[in-house]
Each structure stands twice: as C-alpha cells, then as structure tokens.
Chain A
Amino acid sequence: MNTAPLDNADAQTEHVNLNEVLHRFSTKAAWLAAERQTLPEAPRAQLEVLLREIGETVLPRCIDLKTKGQPIATLTVSNRRLFRFCLSGSPEKQITGNAADAKNLSSALIDLSKQATSMTSRALSDPAGTADSSNGCTVAALRNALAIDTRPCDISHLADLLEPHALAQMTWSGSPEKNVCTGADVWRPLMEAHAARLHAAIDGNAGGQIAGVRDTTGMAIPLSSDKVLVMACKGTLGVVSVTPVEDGLKAIGAWQIPDT
C-alpha cells in the first residue's frame, strides 16, 4: 500500500474525500487487491479506478493497461501525478502540468477506460524525470480537463454501475416517456410504469411525495429471489434497471461511496 506523509504538499492542496479515505481504511487488503487486478466493466468506473490509482501512487511506478492480455498503454506515475503516457506502438509522451496537456490527455484516457480490462502496477526501474512535480499532471487537473461531474452519486454513475449486469435498462433525460431502453423488451412496460410513478412521487404530484428528500432518490424492489428492479431519479434524469438481486444491491452500495 502506498503511503504519504500528512504534511505532503499534495495533501494540503488537493481535495481529500474523507468518506473515501475511511472506506479504504476499513476495506480488507485482499478485497482491495482483487479490486485492483480487474477493472470494473463500466467505462466511467474504470476511469475512476485509474484516476484513483494515480492519486494514490507516491513512489515512482508504471501502470500497465491491458485488454485481453495485450498491453494497450503504459502510464508513468509518481508523487500522485501522471508524468508519462505511452500508447502501445506509439512514442512515449512526456506530460507537463499545464491545462492544455491535461486536456489532450482527456480523450485518450476516456478511450483507454473503454478498452482496458486489466491493470497492473510495477515499480519503476528508472525514475528519471519524475522528481520535479511541475513536470507531472495532478489528478485534480485531469478531472478538470475530463470535465468529470464531481457531484457524488449522480444518476449516470448509477446507470454505469447497473448496466453491465442488467437484464434490461431504461434511462431518460427530461420526461420518463422519452426514454432509451436496452435489454429484454419483456421488462419495458414494468420499467416504464415505475419510472413514471417514481418521477411523480418525487415531484410530489402523486399524493405520495417523498418527505424530506431533495437529493437523488432511488428505490429497489425485489421481484423474486434472483431479480430486483432498481430505479432512481434526480430532477429530469433517471434510470430503471432489472438486474440480478446481488448485482443490483451491490451497485447501490458502490454508488453510495462518493468517487468510486
């Protein structure tokens, strides 16, 4: 596990999420190791894992990203910064801390997060070029360049977590009637009925307004021993998904941890 002194300059300047820190301290080492060997399937979650890995690496290391066992990119990371970036078969690119560089990295990182299926980290044999922090790009700069929505627990994040396991899923922006459905059509009427009802309940138009709730609100209804209907909406955005019980309820727990 990487460690950083409390008086580290980064710790003073970067935003530290206390919930995440507490969660990681309370998580068993074996689970963390397993989590790091295989990237989660949703691209957004993969990107978050990658950024977290960069943000937690203090000593110089290389992060190798692979898809189906084939290397696709190598990132050189040190002092919680990205220093070098190399796509397989392309020349290595030195990163600087300026905004334009971070912006250039954004599309490459998004593409990588869609392709990569595994990630390994190894100690860097030649740490030359990683000593000067001004030559690296911080996670905060990457997040800004990536325009990641840093509000915790947003709808799209939940949709990303549910999607890989969903038997059917429906998302909407605006009105639940204008939805996009994927998966088995047999679940569509059920999902549409519940999307409308949840939307109405949260808007307070159904005589059953949810008291005291102003944030993202969701519901999970076990349909049987192996299927659960998970739905959530906030404002004009929403998602409804039919998933296996275990996966659906795990997704809710994972969604409730900010920045995972």
Chain B
Amino acid sequence: MTIQNHLDQLRQNAPGCTLTAFGDLSSRLILRSSSAAPCPREVLDSLSQKAATCFSVIEDGHASELIDAGCYGHSAIMFTPGQSFVFSRSDTSADDVTCAVIESAQDVEQALRATRETVQKIGEDAA
C-alpha cells in the first residue's frame, strides 16, 4: 500500500478529518497529503511548522523522558477553537510524522489512534 493510500484511508476513517499528511520533521516538509480539494502549499507548510513546534515543546519540556509510548506512541495534538491537529511520529524513524486535521468538537481520541496506526503502517511498508 502506498503512503498516499494510507493517507486517503486515514482521512476517510477519522471522524471530521479534512486533511491528512505525511512529512519529515527534520526538514519541516510535507511530502504527501490527502484532502478533498487541492490544499494550498502554505497550509501544508503551516502544518509542518505546527508539528515541529509540538515535538519541540515536548522535548524542551522534558515530557519525552516521562512518556510511556505504548499506546499512543510519540503523539501530540494541537488545538484551537476551530480545529485539532493530530501528529504522530514513527517509532522506527523519528523524523517521519503523520498529521491529521480534524474539525472542531470531534472525537480526537479516535483520530489519535488512527493517526498513530497509520504512521506505524507506513513505517512497516517502508521496511
């Protein structure tokens, strides 16, 4: 299954999901994305910036030392009144990140689990 297929599947399965993406944290680039309508590059750039910020907050706040990665892996959610941005890092390749943009007031936990599952599957397919 291609990365694009995984992203399409995640977008369809996560409730209220409008955009999914796969990117590289070190270069802060989104490499693949899935959305119903074409997504402007600036939106994807902003998404990768948010992902980088989230994980830098985790590292600088020393939460990474406390995280038990068993269930949700290395994941983070950024939220505003209008949207939630779910990010999940790969266990095997720490720079790989999968992102899901969720409409407000949706089940974020379900999206978190699905995003985590997707980044793991992408990692397994690449191995």
Contact = CB atoms under 8 A, between A and B. Distances in A.
A245 B80 CA distance: 18
Interface in A147-182: 152-153
A201 B57 contact: yes
Interface stretch (B6-14, B30-38, B101-109, B118-126): B101-109
A257 interface: yes
B84 interface: yes
Given A217-B78, A217-B80, A223 B105 contact: no
Interface residues of B, number: 36
Interface residues on A, range: 35 or more
A256 interface: yes
A245 B109 contact: yes
A181 B107 CA distance: 28
A232 B81 CA distance: 11
A212 interface: yes
Given A208-B52, A216-B80, A219-B54, A246 B109 contact: yes
Contacts of A216: 80-81
Contacts of A87: none
Nearest to A232: B79
Nearest to A217: B80
Interface of B: 45-46, 49-50, 52-54, 56-58, 60-63, 66-68, 70-72, 75-82, 84, 104-109, 112
